[in-house]
Amino acid sequence: MTLLAAVTPEGADSHCPYCALQCAQTLHTTVAEGDVRTVTAAGRDFPTNKGGMCQKGWTSPTLLRATDRLTTPLLHGRPVSWDTALTFVADRLSALRAEHGPASVAVFGGGGLTNEKAYALGKFARTVLATPNIDYNGRFCMASAAAGANRTLGVDRGLPFPLADLGGAQAVLLLGSNLAETMPPAVQHLAGVRAAGGLVVVDPRRSATADLTADDGGLHVQPVPGTDLALLLGLAHIVLAEGFADVAYLDERTTGLDDVRRSLALWWPERTEQVTGVPVATLRRAAFLLANASPSRGGAGAYVLTGRGVEQSTQGTDTVTAAITLALLLGLPGRIGSGYGAITGQGNGQGGREHGQKADQLPGYRSIEDESARAHVAGVWGVDPADLPRTGMPAIELLRSLGTPGGPKALLVHGSNVLVSAPDADRVRERLASLDLLVVCDFLPSETAQLADVVLPVTQWAEEEGTMTSLEGCVIRRRRALPPPPGVRSELEILADLAHRLGSTVRFDTSPAAVFDELARASAGGRADYSGLSHERLDAEPDLFWPVPAGPAPHPGTPRMFLDRFPTPDGRARLIPVDHRGPSEDLRRDAPLFLITGRVLAHYQSGAQTRRVPELVRSAPTPFVELHPLLADRLGIGEGDLVQLDTERGRGVVRARLTDAVRPDTVFMPFHWAGTGSANRLTTDATDPISGMPEFKVCAVDVQRWAGPAEVLDDESLLFPEEVLR
C-alpha cells in the first residue's frame, strides 16, 4: 500500500484505549490509496505517562484496521440491516418483558465504556427496560476496593491523589499489583522510592514488579497465596506494639481505635509468620520502612497501595479494610505526600461505576436505595422516582441466574467478553446458551459475541468523542481521530433507537457532549460530582479531578482528597476490625497446589483486542503455566511439556514454563486466552460477601503432565493465530 499523504502534524489528542492509567497519546491519520485511513499513535506529555506508553499503547491503532472488524449487524450469524436487527431485538425484548416482567431482561456493561455510554446504559436499563438487573465487569475489578474505601474513608476514588505524588515517597507498600507488566509507564513514578530503598512489593510470585526491589534495597514479601489479610494484620500489630502509630492523627481524625487494637492483639509476628510463611524479620523490616517514612516520624512520606491480587478474594473487602487501617494507624490518608490508594485496572473502571452500571448505584456514586438520590436522578431523567427499580444482582449472581426459572431470559452485553473474563467460564457458557436472547455490542467478534443471537457493531475509541476517568479520578477527553467504518454505530445511537422502538418517552441524546451535560446534572451533589464539568471545559483544562461541583465560579477540582475531613457524617475515618478466614478452597489430596492468575505485559483483559495485534501476539503467542523447577521435577514435567490442570470447575491444558519466580506450592497462569488455555475455566466463582467480587486469584488445583494428544491445544486458544501473525 502506497501512502499518498503525510501524517498531519497536529493530530488528534486522545488517550490509550486500554488500562486506567489512560496514557496520553496523539493519533495521526495518514490517507492511503482508496481513501483508506491509517492511524499511528505517539506518546504525549501528561502527568501520568510523561510521553511514554507500553507496547499495547504504541500498537493500539492496529485494532482500527483489524481484518475481522465488525461492520454489519448479525442475526443468528447472518448479516442483516440495522432496521432488521433492531426490530428483532425490540420485538423479543417486548415479548419477554410482557410475559415474564421487566426483570427478565438483564444488562452487562464494561469498564472500557466512556462515561457517556456507561451513563446512558444505566439510564436505559432503569427507565426503558425498568430492570434492576444491570451490573458490569468492574465487579471483577474494583468492587472490593470500593467497598473497603466506602466503609472506612467514606468514598471510593481509586487513588485519592495524583499518581505523580508517589514520586516523592520514601516508602511504598504495593500489595497485589504487578505495575511493571500491567501499567509500565507508572513505574517511573516509583523511581524515588526505589532509590530510597523503600519499595515493598507483596506478591506470592516474583513478578517483574517484585524484581524492582532486587537491586535497590527494597523488599519482596512472598506470602502463601490467600494470606494477604493476615499479613496486613501482622504489620498493623507491629505498628501498634512498637509505638509507631500516629496518636495525634488517630485522636483527631479517626474513630474505632480501641476495637481495632483489641482485634490486632491476636496477630503477633510469630502467629503471622505461621499463617503467611513470611519470616518475622521480614515483617518487622516492612513495618519499619513504612513507619520511618511516615510524617509523624519525620519521614518524607509513605503510601499503601492495593491491586487485584489482594482484592479478588472472598475476603477482599476485609483485606482492603486492613490496608486502610494500616495506613490510618500511620497517619497517611489526607496528608500531602502520603496516603492509601487502590490501583484501578480497566480504562474507565472508575467512571463506569460512578455513573450507573453498578447494580446498586445511580449517577454521581449515589445509592439507588437512597430516596433523595432517586428523586434527584428521576427529576433529571423526567420519570417518576417510584418507577425506578431497586438494587439488582451483582455480576456473578446475575450470570448464575441467566436462563434459570425466575431468572433473566435476555442479556444485553456492552463492552465485555464474559465468556473469557468471568470465573467458572464453562458454567458461564452454559448460562449464556440457555438464554432466549443474547445481544452483544462490540467492534470485534469476541468469544461472547460468537455466541450471540444478535451482534451490533459499534465504534471504538479513536472513532468517538467522550470522556474517561482515570485511576486517579482525573476526568479526561477522548477525541475522534477518524470516522468509523460505514455501517458502524455508537452505543448512544443504538440505545436511543431501541428506546424509541420500545415505546419509551424518555429522552436519549446521541451527542456525547449533550449526554455528558446531562450526566453532570444527574451527578450534582453526589460523592462523584461532575456538575462543574463539560466537554468544553475539559478541552480547555485537561487535568481536572472529581469532585468538581458547579458554582458561581469554576471549581478547580479536587486532586487530593481528605485534606480537611473525610466524607463521613462526623468527618472522621472509621477503623474497622477484620479477621483472616482464608480462601474459599483449602488444598486437598486431589488438588494439592495453589493456582494463582494474572496478566502478562503484551495482553489486556480477555485478550479479545490484543490477541489481534501481530506485535503483541509475537511477544506472547500462547497461554502457559509457570511451575517451580522443584515441583516440575517431582511431577516429571519438563520445559515446554503439555500440562493438565484440574479444578472442581474444569480442565486446562497448556505448555509448561519452569521458573523459580513462583513458590514450589504454587502455579501461575495468565488469563488472557480462551479455549483449552483459559485460566477462568479453572477459577472459582466464590465471592466476597460484601463486594460480590469473585475469588479469581487463588484456588486449589491438581497439576499433571498431559498424556493425551498435542492436538488438544485448539485454535480458540490463539484466536486466529495464522491470520494475525501473517
| SS3 letters across 5-42 | CCCCCCCEEEECCCECCCCEEEEEEEEEHHHCEEEEEE
557 close to 548: Cβ distance less than 8 angstroms: yes
Looking at the structure, tell me whether residues 111 and 175 fall in a common domain: no
How far is the C-alpha of 471 from the C-alpha of 474, rounded, in Å?
Answer: 7
Instruction: Go through 261-294 and write b for each residue having 16 or more CB atoms within 10 A of its CB, e for each that does not.
Output: bebbeebebeebbebbbbebebbeebbebbbbbb
Do 248 and 199 share a structural domain? Answer: yes
CATH number at residue 37: 2.20.25
Same domain, 226 and 305: yes
Q: Which of 278, 312, 342 is the last residue before a domain boundary?
A: 342
Q: What stretches of 510-575 show up as alpha helix (H) in DSSP?
A: 512-523, 535-540
293/331 Cα distance (integer angstroms) = 11
Are residue 534 and residue 633 in the same domain, yes or no?
no
Please indicate, yes or no, whether residues 137 and 164 belong to a single structural domain of this protein: no
Quote the radius of gyration of the chain (alpha carbons, Å): 25
Whether 351 is in a domain gets the answer no
What is the arrangement of strands in the sheet containing 454-457, beginning at the earlier edge strand?
A: 78-79, 74-75, 454-457, 437-442, 410-414, 105-109, 134-136
Same-domain check for residues 302 and 375: no
What's the DSSP call for residue 215?
A: T
Q: Which residues, 6 or more positions from 103, have their beta carbon under 8 angstroms from its beta carbon?
A: 131, 132, 133, 389, 408
| Peptide bond connecting 295 to the previous residue in cis, omega within 30 degrees of 0 | no
Round to whole Å and give the CA distance between 136 and 722: 33
Contact 60, 18 (CB under 8 A): yes
Number of domains the chain is built from: 4
Give the cell for residue 397. Answer: 449472581
Q: pLDDT value at position 441?
A: 98
At 442 the pLDDT is: 97
State the pTM of this model.
0.95
Query: What is the C-alpha separation between 667 and 625, in angstroms, rounded?
Result: 7
Last residue of a domain, one of 545, 569, 584: 545
The x, y and z cell numbers of residue 710, run together, are 498435542
109 & 206 share domain: no
Q: Report the C-alpha gap between 265 and 283 in whole angstroms.
A: 16
Distance CA 149, CA 7 (A): 45
Domain assignment present for residue 352? The answer is: no
Q: What residue type is 522 in one-letter code?
A: A
Cβ count near 149 (within 10 Å): 26
The Cα-based distances of 469 to 159, 474, 688 in angstroms read 11, 5, 26
Distance from C-alpha of 657 to C-alpha of 671, rounded to nearest angstrom: 15
Residue that finishes a domain, picked among 528, 545, 562: 545
Q: Positive or negative, the Cα torsion across 427, 430, 436, 439?
A: positive
Specify whether 257 is located in the same domain as 166: yes
Residue 411 is inside which H or E element, if any? strand 410-414
Q: Is residue 570 part of a domain?
A: no
Q: Does any domain span residue 348?
A: no
Q: Is 406 helix (H, G, I), strand (E, B) or coil?
A: coil
In a domain, 290, yes or no: yes
Rounded mean pLDDT for each run of 10 residues along the chain, 726 residues in total: 34 91 91 65 90 94 93 98 98 98 97 96 98 95 94 96 96 97 96 96 96 90 98 98 98 98 98 98 98 96 96 97 98 97 91 91 96 98 98 97 97 96 96 98 97 98 96 95 94 98 97 98 97 97 94 96 97 98 96 97 94 95 97 97 96 97 97 95 97 96 90 51 38
| Closest CA relative to residue 438, chosen from 132, 106, 716 | 106
Grid cell of 327 as nine digits: 495506613
Task: Record the cell numbers describing residue 181, joined without a space.
Answer: 507488566
pLDDT at residue 391 in the model: 97
- Residue 594 phi/psi, 5° resolution? -90, 135
223 burial class (0-12, 13-18, 19+ CB within 10 angstroms)? buried
**Domain enclosing residue 445, as ranges:** 91-141+363-545
Please report the pLDDT score of residue 215 as a whole number: 78
578 belongs to a structural domain? no
Do 150 and 277 fall into the same domain? yes
Q: Does one domain contain both 220 and 323?
A: yes
How many whole angstroms separate alpha carbon 428 and alpha carbon 435?
Answer: 11
CB environment 116-145: b (16+ within 10 A), e (fewer): bbbbbbbbbbbbbbbbbbbbbbbbbbbbbb
Q: HSE on the CB side for 29, CA within 13 Å?
A: 16
Whole-number Å distance between alpha carbons of 82 and 256? 58
How long, in residues, is the chain? 726
194/61 same-domain check: no
Closest CA to 40 of 49, 71, 53: 53
- CATH code (residue 718): 2.40.40.20
User: Could you tell me which of 639, 631, 621, 636 has the C-alpha nearest to residue 595?
Assistant: 631
Q: Which helix (H) or strand (E) holds 98?
A: helix 82-100
Mark 190-199 as b/e (b = at least 16 C-beta within 10 Å).
bebbbebebb
Classify residue 223: in a domain, yes or no.
yes
Instruction: Give the Å distances, CA to CA, from 424 to 358, 436, 584, 647, 686.
Output: 21, 21, 14, 10, 9
Q: What is the 3-state secondary structure (H, E, C) of 457-516?
A: EECCHHHCCEEEECCCCEEEEECCCCCCCCCCECHHHHHHHHHHHCCCCCCCCCCHHHHH
Q: Does residue 299 sit within a domain? A: yes
Q: Residue 257: which CATH number? A: 3.40.228.10
Task: Give the Cβ contact number of residue 378 at 10 Å.
Answer: 19
510 lies in the same domain as 373:
yes
